[in-house]
Amino acid sequence: MRIATFNVNGIGARLPALLQWLNETKPDVVCLQELKAPQEKFPEAAINDAGYQAIWHGQKSWNGVAILARGQKPIETGRGLPGDADDIQSRYIEAIVDGILIGGLYLPNGNPAPGPKFDYKLKWFDRLHTHAAKLLDSGAPVILAGDFNVMPTELDVYKPERWVDDALFRPEVRAAYHKLLAQGWTDALRTMHPGEKIYTFWDYFRNAYGRDAGLRIDHLLLSPALAPALTAAEVDRDVRGRKKPSDHAPTWVELDLKKIS
DNA sequence: ATGCCAATCGTTGATTGA
């Protein structure tokens, strides 16, 4: 079973690239972020025609998350991260597919730091800690997949010294990510590629992709019940080099569910 | 310190992203 995460940076602008990638790699589940489209503008028919059913939580202009499953409808278990009834940003959606609980998330960027956006990011991280702990307590196989907007370590950024004051790399944010991992989650990509420079994002500026000036900010975290099934984790890097690309590349894990059954 | 690019909304620029 292959589960992927892909920040598409606009589902409208990215639909051809998304459909091409789905057709080529046929992941079983895909978490999408940054739909940048209201609920009614999600291209459901095109997704269905590609062999997928979807649930999504849109928002005008910004944010927006979705979960796609190949040949079946994800069974939704929640949308919106618990812990703040006043938070109306579409950044979390959760579903069950083939007995796996999937949390698709788009963690706030947080720039500029310090400031209210950075405070919102840290509060969102606190809420994620609480909800993630609850998911772990269930003992179920769980995956948290999405754009975390955090480079966990210096290995995950092409030039660490340039990013130390950025909201994606500040010590508080890295500490929050490591506090989350310490609950028992497995960072799948790093586990399968220890010590390796491996990025998931390259910005549009300064020929960042051509220079491999990238960041690792898209993550797939496995609960202890699911981690033994992990057999591969990769980045579909070439997708970033195509025409009209997202600034993120699809990132995925391969799970052998026989190993945990 | 800023711009560099790209998307959306909506209109020819402002805002956001990372």
pLDDT in tens, chain A (261 residues): 999 999 999 999 999 999 999 999 999 999 999 999 999 999 999 999 999 999 999 999 999 999 999 999 999 999 999 999 999 999 999 999 999 999 999 999 999 999 999 999 999 999 999 999 999 999 999 999 999 999 999 999 999 999 999 999 999 999 999 999 999 999 999 999 999 999 999 999 989 999 999 999 999 999 999 999 999 999 999 999 999 999 999 999 999 999 998
Q: Looking at the DSSP assignment, which residues form a beta bridge with residue A202? A: A214
- Cβ of A51 < 7 Å from strand B? no
Alpha carbon distance A166, A229 (integer Å): 35
b/e code A139-168 from CB counts within 10 Å (16+ = b): eebbbbbbbbbbbbeeebbbeeeebeebbb
Residue positions of A annotated with a catalytic role? 106, 147, 248
d(CA A260, C1' B8) / Å: 44
Contact A144, A103 (CB under 8 A): yes
Fold of A2-259: Deoxyribonuclease I; Chain A (3.60.10)
Q: Is A134 exposed, middle or buried (0-12, 13-18, 19+ CB in 10 A)?
A: exposed
The pair of three-digit structure tokens given for residue A19, joined into one six-digit string:
């459909």
Token digits of residue A225: 């019940």
User: Is the separation of the CB atoms in A106 and A57 below 8 Å?
Assistant: no
Give yes or no for a contact between A251 and A218, defined as CB atoms under 8 angstroms apart. Answer: yes
CA of A97 to C1' of B4 (A): 41
User: Is 0.95 topped by the overall pTM?
Assistant: yes
Nucleotide nearest to A203 (CA to C1'): B18
A145: phi then psi, degrees, rounded to nearest 5: -130, 135
The pLDDT value given to residue A261: 86
Predicted pLDDT of residue A38: 94
Report the alpha-carbon distance of residue A242 to residue A164 in Å, rounded. Answer: 30
Asked if A188 and A221 count as a contact pair (C-beta separation under 8 A), the reply is yes
Closest nucleotide to A109, Cα to C1': B18
User: Who among residues 196-235 of A has its Cβ near strand B, under 7 Å?
Assistant: 201, 203-206, 215, 217
Q: State which residue has its Cα closest to the C1' atom of B6.
A: A204
What is the three-class DSSP state of A68? strand
